[in-house]
């Protein structure tokens, strides 16, 4: 809870993972809530948090004007906000935030994969290329907490007249340098996929 714009700004500055704000339009002044909305979107540059503006005096600021001029996600009159409507509003805000965070994580993953791909294009030696390919796998993993140690992979290349394992994840390190045929002989199909 915050009882002023300054308190709200402090909380939002310290916590970038707040999913939604139930915001009163009237706080210290008649439009302090709207000033906070502008600060969140323009100064803090937080587009993810869902802002639900509520007011006890809808005549002061008509809904259509507020929605068009401020980047809020919902506008509720206090007199219309029953417990059931509030519950549904919160559920919708949480779902919307979850979806936006997921999209943002995917965007960041694609940027990382693109960065690794561009680095690979600039490399000349196949050894250097094999060093960067794991980064692409990691950046495309769905779980943003995925680490190099949790991804299983091996990269092969043609060497000494046969296909050999050139690079592996740490838990498959004992296969490095082995022929692909030997590796497949030791692993059953369910372990590979």
pLDDT in tens, the chain (193 residues): 898 999 999 999 999 999 999 999 888 888 899 999 999 999 999 999 999 998 887 666 777 888 888 999 999 888 888 899 999 999 999 999 999 999 998 888 778 777 767 776 676 655 555 566 666 655 555 555 544 445 566 666 667 777 777 767 676 777 777 777 777 777 654 444 4
- Judge contact between 155 and 130, C-beta under 8 A: yes
To the question of pTM greater than 0.85 for the whole model, the response is no
């Amino acid at each position: 809870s915050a009882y002023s714009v300054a308190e709200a700004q402090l909380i939002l500055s310290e916590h970038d993972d707040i999913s939604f704000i139930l915001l009163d339009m009237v706080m210290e002044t008649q439009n302090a809530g709207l000033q906070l909305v502008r600060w969140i979107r323009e100064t803090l540059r937080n587009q993810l948090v869902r802002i639900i503006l509520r007011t006890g005096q809808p005549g002061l600021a008509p809904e259509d004007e507020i929605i068009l001029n401020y980047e809020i996600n919902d506008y509720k009159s206090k007199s219309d906000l029953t417990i059931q409507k509030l519950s549904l509003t919160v559920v919708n805000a949480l779902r919307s935030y979850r979806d936006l965070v997921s999209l943002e994580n995917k965007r960041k993953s694609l940027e990382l994969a693109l960065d690794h791909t561009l680095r690979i294009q600039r490399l000349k030696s196949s050894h250097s290329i094999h060093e960067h390919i794991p980064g692409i796998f990691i950046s495309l993993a769905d779980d943003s907490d995925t680490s190099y140690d949790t991804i299983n992979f091996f990269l092969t290349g043609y060497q000494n007249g046969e296909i050999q394992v050139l690079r592996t994840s740490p838990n498959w390190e004992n296969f490095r340098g082995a022929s692909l045929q030997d590796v497949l002989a030791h692993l059953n199909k369910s372990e590979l996929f």
